[in-house]
Amino acid sequence: MTIKVGDKLPETTFMEMTANGPEPRSTADVFAGKTVAMFAVPGAYTPTCSAKHLPGFVEKQGELAAKGVDEIVCTSVNDVFVMGAWGSESGADGKVRMLADGNGDFAKAIGLELDASGFGMGSRSQRYSMLVKDGEVAELNVEDGGGFAVSSAEHLLGQL
């Protein structure tokens, strides 16, 4: 079953690269008591993700913060080392938290997994954005097929 507006996020664990190395982050650690703009990409370093999706949220971080967003989170079914490197190389440090959903547990738990085995990528996450308030989904924007429109930073900003 796919998550919907009004649902609480399920408890799962992400991994985040820190100065001390990889560290686990529970759903509660990330979302409790905050307004979070979260977006997911099918893969770090993939064309649309690197050229548009992540850069859009990096660029719009100040505008999102001005509209009440406490934090921006990017997640993907990639390992923590890839997510850490991609964030650093993309200028996301201090603007967008890069959380690895290495085994796809979060994507599966919210019903937004993607079978990309036809492209040699295995199980991934669909492309989406959501606004989460204290762990509850307030807005959810899932892309149809391979598109990139409703999950953009600009679209989410327009919903605030």
Closest to 54 in 3D by CA, of 40, 65, 67, 66: 40
- Active-site residue, from 41, 49, 54, 58: 49
Cα dihedral 98→99→102→107 (10° resolution): -120
DSSP sequence for 57-76: HHHTHHHHHHTT--EEEEEE
Is residue 74 flagged as an active site residue? no
Q: Which residues are catalytic?
A: 49
